Structure 1
Amino acid sequence: MARNRENSRALYDRALSVMPAGVNSSVRATQPYPTFVRSGDGAHVIDHDGNRYLDYVMGYGPLLLGHDMPESVAAAVQRAASEGPMYGAPTEVEVDLAEFVVRHVPSVEMIRFVNSGTEATVSAVRLARGHTGRNKIVVMQGGYHGAQESTLVEGDAEHPRPSTSGIPQSFAEHTLPVPFNDEEALREVFERHGDDIACVLTEPILGNSGIVMPEEGYHEAIRETCDEYGALYVLDEVITGFRVGGLGCAQGKFGVTPDVTTFGKIVGGGFPVGAIGGRSEIIEQFSPSGDVFQSGTFSGHPVTMAAGLATLEFCAENDVYDHVNALGERLREGLTDIVADRAPEYTVVGTDSMFKVVFGRANTGPQSDCCSAGCRQDPTCERSPDCPKTGADVADGETQRWDRLFRPFMEEQGILLPANQMESQFVSYAHTEADIEETLEAYEAFFS
């Protein structure tokens, strides 16, 4: 029996009259209309018709602890809010959060907080250009760094073009897209433009392309190439920061040291946030200590800072990462078994508490044991020739089947997933082993 979603439909009808496409973020516009959420409850959300869903969107990543804040986090948020909404002046809690990040992420010696992941990457690109005196940046095809002019660029390094209307072609000419995991393409673009490349901007894992893992040695190659040409290595950890690799973030997991790191999502405990961290001599180039202008009315917002600090302290003092990573591994292993038996052309991807099934078009055999808990880019894996290595590999899959058939089916089963194949899915501290088994049963039902 189909779920009653009349109230979501009615709200969407109203929203279409006052908001473009009825939403405030393009990825929320699902088929045939979005589920309007009334409240969250642990690992679940409840819509305006009273339907309850296991949630793997988790706010697109920020809700590592789930929808219910632990008592310590809730108390910190309530205390900060009760003392005043904001001040436009420094507060102790922003210093406390900065010290926490610096203490746990070795590459970060100083940090500046902003209001979103987009603002963080905008500021990081401006900082790299100001610090080096160069204009061009290298980005990964299929990577995403927020809604900013410098990175909403497609094509290749010799023929870059805006990926959306509203951006002048002259902006795109300073951005050089290369395929992820392609060391040769990276070297070639530096050989042609190295004297004017300010930075390489990349995610450690492509988190907005169905989760594409790096091949062994790829980030080390970026580090070495940046050092050789005097460019900055900017690592976008907006999605992975304090989720992959625990408190040391993905850079700790992969053993790489960027010059600059951007943060967002979890570092704000579910409230709007972004941050730019890195070596002191680089971060101090921000005004007023340096010549790179950066400012913001809501930067270091006391409620966000309190939420972020209390969230990360809770993670440090409890078994959060052991719990979410174990559930993520169990889920990916179960999905690998289902896909191998029912849809061998598809690939299970992810690491730690991130997961996804990429609806690909592989002709090779299923994933081998080395990648049974998610694609690891292991060349010995039977699936290796066809596993997703770039953003284009994910985009070339059966995205319409994912969007129009799979996601709506799962929603009817009480499983809420992101709007499309390109977005990551997340396990939270509130999820349980029973939730994982329920989820696997729903996936199996779709593929049966």
Structure 2
Amino acid sequence: MTLKDSRDLYDRALSVLPGGVNSPVRASIQPYPFFVERGDGGHVIDADGNRYIDWVMGLGPLLLGHDLPQQVQSAIQKQASAGPMYGAPTEIEVELAEFVSRHVPSVEKVRFVNSGTEATVSAVRLARGYTGREKIVVMQGGYHGAQESTLVEGGPESPSPSTKGVPQSFAEHTIPVPFNDTEAIERVFEERGEEIAGVLVEPILANKGIVSPVDGYHETLRKLTREHGSLLVFDEVITGFRVGGLACAQGKFDVTPDVTTFGKIVGGGFPVGAIGGRAEIIESFTPSGDVFQAGTFSGHPVTMAAGLKTLKYAAENDVYDHVNDLGEQLRSGLTDICADQAPEYTVAGTDSIFKVLFTRETPVEGESHCEAGCEQRTDCARYTRCPKTGADVGNTEIERWNRLLWPAMFDQGVFLSQNGFESQFVSDSHTEEDVEQTLEAYKHAL
């Protein structure tokens, strides 16, 4: 396999782009990233003509894969040919908002924005404006985009910025707690409940190795926020319209938040974000309320057309049955492979997301175990040893995953997410043959 053209492109990129990329995760690949020329179904072809099974799918947005169905392509092309944008409302944004509000339990009204980061920025401002409070609770290891309110590390009593450029005074309004730790969140609300505007949480930690909630955790968040007049905000930028189908992860877990943020799939592969929730809360956004929110490209008609047609196609063509079935085949196969070759490792994921976590401890012996991805089942023999928090994932063998597994899979023509934290995604364009080839590659790589 040659990567000469990718190397040359990276050499050029280093002269004009910081780090040679426009998002840092793309530079995680050593010694340099490969450059993609085009997509083909469930595959990508790089600048040197090499072909790979693609389980990254743009880091999640491509539910249908790279080859869009004809009706989806036609809708995008028709809208683009009518002019790229107008700075005025269009019918298509109303139709997409109606579709989302019909299917997602928490959503009565929607405000469209341009990225998942913009959605969570706006949701934090909304929570503060609606409640009149300043503190935001986040999960350690959760990811809510490149924004000042959530680029915070530490504990409830000692939050600090996780990057240069964020003032300490910003971090002081954020309260990080461990995901899945009921005692910690109860203690925070007992001590500071009257200060808390909202709890911002991914239903599944999906940017830190995939960690599912333990039984009752989200119900506890729901109960505490209601009792203290705070908002429960689900960040479904990754899980939205992927986990739980059209009802999203909140439908799967049967917990209805006050506000939900979206991105990725809701735009059909184009730049997008959205904030949805109860009408009385979303109405707090200007111009109907006094929480300022605006954007030139918000509700972009081409994005709205792509999102609407993608979701309609998924609803009408059994897409979720297909991607979830392949996801289960992958996780089941990986569970068997790990049992034989690396019993200390943990297979994680649900529906159409998956990951192998390089956990360190060998599990205790036991007959009962999760057969197709960690479900945080208390009767599972691995329950006390599988990751429960972002810190648990951080303590796995990340460098081994990055430096040994990733290149070994890449050399066999399998493109996995660029580091040991990011999720991997199944699309409607993937096939059982793709799954079989990938499992064979894992056998050799592990």
- Give me the TM-score of the superposition, normalised by structure 2: 0.99
Alignment of 1:405-420 (within 5 A): 405-420=404-419
Residue 25 of structure 2 corresponds to residue 7 of structure 1? no
In the superposition, relative to structure 1, how do residues 5 and 216 fare at CA in structure 2: closer, same or farther (>3 Å)?
same
2-structure distance, mates of 1:125, 1:302? 26
2-structure distance, mates of 1:318, 1:227? 38
Residue 83 of structure 2 corresponds to residue 94 of structure 1? no
Task: Verify the 8 A CA contact 2:57 2:425 in the aligned structure 1.
Answer: yes
Tell me the amino acid that sits aligned with residue 210 of structure 2. Answer: I
The residue that corresponds to 1:228 in the other structure is 227
Alignment of 1:16-415 (within 5 A): 16-29=14-27, 30-365=29-364, 369-415=368-414
Alignment of 1:435-446 (within 5 A): 435-446=434-445
Q: Supply the RMSD in Å over aligned alpha carbons.
A: 0.9
Q: Deviations over 1:292-344 (max 9, x none)?
A: 00000000000000000000000110110000000000100000000011011
SS of the equivalent of 2:275 reads strand
* 1:432 CA displacement: 0.5
Task: Verify the 8 A CA contact 1:336 1:367 in the aligned structure 2.
Answer: no
Q: Deviations over 1:67-109 (max 9, x none)?
A: 0111111000000000001001000000000000001112100
Tell me the amino acid that sits aligned with residue 134 of structure 1. Answer: R
* 1:379 CA displacement: 1.2
Task: Verify the 8 A CA contact 1:348 1:356 in the aligned structure 2.
Answer: yes
SS of the equivalent of 2:200 reads strand
Task: Verify the 8 A CA contact 1:331 1:436 in the aligned structure 2.
Answer: yes
Structure 1 runs not aligned, ≥5 long: none
Tell me the amino acid that sits aligned with residue 253 of structure 2. Answer: F
Tell me the amino acid that sits aligned with residue 315 of structure 1. Answer: A
SS of the equivalent of 2:392 reads helix
* 1:366 CA displacement: 7.1
Q: Deviations over 1:100-137 (max 9, x none)?
A: 00011121000000000000000000000000000000
2-structure distance, mates of 1:201, 1:409? 36
* 1:368 CA displacement: 5.6
Task: Verify the 8 A CA contact 2:369 2:382 in the aligned structure 1.
Answer: no
Task: Verify the 8 A CA contact 1:251 1:257 in the aligned structure 2.
Answer: yes
Tell me the amino acid that sits aligned with residue 296 of structure 1. Answer: G
Alignment of 1:419-438 (within 5 A): 419-438=418-437
Tell me the amino acid that sits aligned with residue 21 of structure 2. Answer: V
Tell me the amino acid that sits aligned with residue 90 of structure 1. Answer: P
Tell me the amino acid that sits aligned with residue 314 of structure 2. Answer: C
SS of the equivalent of 1:213 reads coil
* 1:363 CA displacement: 2.8
In the superposition, relative to structure 1, how do residues 394 and 367 fare at CA in structure 2: closer, same or farther (>3 Å)?
farther
Tell me the amino acid that sits aligned with residue 383 of structure 1. Answer: R
Task: Verify the 8 A CA contact 1:267 1:273 in the aligned structure 2.
Answer: yes
* 1:409 CA displacement: 1.0
Q: Deviations over 1:374-399 (max 9, x none)?
A: 00001111111110100111111110
SS of the equivalent of 1:362 reads coil
* 1:286 CA displacement: 0.0
- Give me the TM-score of the superposition, normalised by structure 1: 0.98
SS of the equivalent of 1:170 reads helix
Tell me the amino acid that sits aligned with residue 111 of structure 1. Answer: V
In the superposition, relative to structure 1, how do residues 366 and 174 fare at CA in structure 2: closer, same or farther (>3 Å)?
farther
Q: Deviations over 1:226-246 (max 9, x none)?
A: 011100000000000000000
Task: Verify the 8 A CA contact 2:55 2:426 in the aligned structure 1.
Answer: yes
* 1:370 CA displacement: 4.2
Task: Verify the 8 A CA contact 2:358 2:396 in the aligned structure 1.
Answer: yes
* 1:270 CA displacement: 0.1
SS of the equivalent of 1:385 reads coil
* 1:418 CA displacement: 1.1
Task: Verify the 8 A CA contact 1:336 1:373 in the aligned structure 2.
Answer: yes
Q: Deviations over 1:388-446 (max 9, x none)?
A: 10011111111001111110111110000111111000011001111100000000011
SS of the equivalent of 1:138 reads strand
2-structure distance, mates of 1:365, 1:207? 26
Q: Which moved more, 1:363-372 or 1:352-361?
A: 363-372
2-structure distance, mates of 1:251, 1:124? 17
Tell me the amino acid that sits aligned with residue 23 of structure 1. Answer: V
2-structure distance, mates of 1:230, 1:181? 21
* 1:365 CA displacement: 3.5
1-structure distance, mates of 2:227, 2:403? 47
SS of the equivalent of 1:371 reads coil
Tell me the amino acid that sits aligned with residue 42 of structure 2. Answer: A
